[in-house]
Amino acid sequence: MNNRKVSSKEQSEKDLTMHEAFINLNTVPTHVMAWGKWIEEDLSNEKLIILFIPGNPGLLGFYKAFLDTVYEQLGGKVPVWTVGHGGHEIPNSTLRPIPIFQSNKDLYDLNAQVNHKASFIRKYVPKDTKIIIMGHSIGAYICVELLNEPDIESKIQKSYLLFPTLEHMADTPQGKFLNKFVRYFVSILVFLTWCFITFLPSVVQTFLIKAYLFLTRSPVSFINEAKSFLKPNVVRNVLFMVMDEMEKVNDRNDTCIEKNLNKLKLYYGQTDHWAPPSYYYRIKEKHPTINAELCNFEHAFVMRNSEEVGKIVVGWIQEDFNI
């Protein structure tokens, strides 16, 4: 699908460097953002790209300020791409609906999302182009799983894992909450979302979303992302994936981690309820030489600290690659 769209003239100059579109990937319309060269342009002269894999929900707009910062701080020298999770964003066009959940659950679980990202790399990253891969939360888990693929592992030069959910998610404070309460109300939450967008006028929806963002001290600028999330199909796919994570993210993949120690950088949070500090100390005990550290940012760093974390990541890249 060659339907790339460019940011409008009214947006800031930095936004003009970002292109976005929905592509068809593993039969699912998938949101992609690219800073620098677009994924379908001639990349023969690009020896390195940065690929970012989001957490869950995989709505790319939440990460825009972070990736803006990474691209700008690197002086636009390296293309920066991010690919969303299948089923977490729906294109506005009704001509390309996402596959029906009930008969296509295998397109939306955790394994499918790993395969989804592997397919993207194999299709769009040229043979001789190397990758710096970054992942947030469950995106970090996906990064580690991609290192298990020999043809992809050989392309990855470095993997920066931000607030990584690599093990025993069901045992974390957030995991316990989801398993005890949210798991039993998924259908109700999907129904309430349907009621919200069906019966409330758009102006009321906007008011309530803005009020929620204000009360939770979240940027009001995320209103479009909140609206994208509040769709029954999206809510169902997001919750289906997170429940699948509770079941599948158990023992840490120490074999893969040990094999790729020189490629990994892990960034844990002191107050993280998805990847608590105890998991940081646990991985350091198992792999004493691993490059990992604790910080004071929250797990959902994009809510308040996108630029700060972006500059930190750029510092790592500049140190590792002399860019």
* CB-based contacts of 150-154 (< 8 A; 24+ apart in sequence): 151/122, 152/118, 152/121, 152/122, 153/260
Please check whether residue 231 is in contact with residue 205, taking contact to mean a CB–CB distance below 8 angstroms. no
Find the catalytic residue in 137, 159, 218, 306. 137
* Distance (Å, whole) CA 302 – CA 300: 5
Q: Nearest to residue 81, comparing CAs of 138, 123, 33?
A: 33
Question: Is 272 among the catalytic positions?
Answer: yes
Distance (Å, whole) CA 134 – CA 165: 13
End-to-end CA distance of the chain: 33
In 3D space, the residue among 68, 9, 1, 57 whose CA is nearest the CA of residue 33 turns out to be 68
44 part of the active site:
no
**Cβ distance 54 to 82 under 8 Å?**
yes
Choosing from 68, 109, 244, 272, the catalytic residue is: 272
DSSP-assigned beta bridge partners for residue 294: 268
Catalytic residue among 31, 116, 168, 299: 299
Tell which residue, 243, 30, 280, has the closest CA to residue 140.
280
- Quick one: tokens of 249? 């993210």
320 is catalytic: no
- What is the separation of C-alpha 254 from the centre of its chain, rounded to a whole number of angstroms? 22
Decide: 71 and 36 in contact? Cβ < 8 Å: yes
In DSSP terms, which residues pair with 34 in a beta bridge? Answer: 19, 81
Distance CA 228, CA 91 (A): 10
Q: Could you list the active site residues?
A: 137, 272, 299
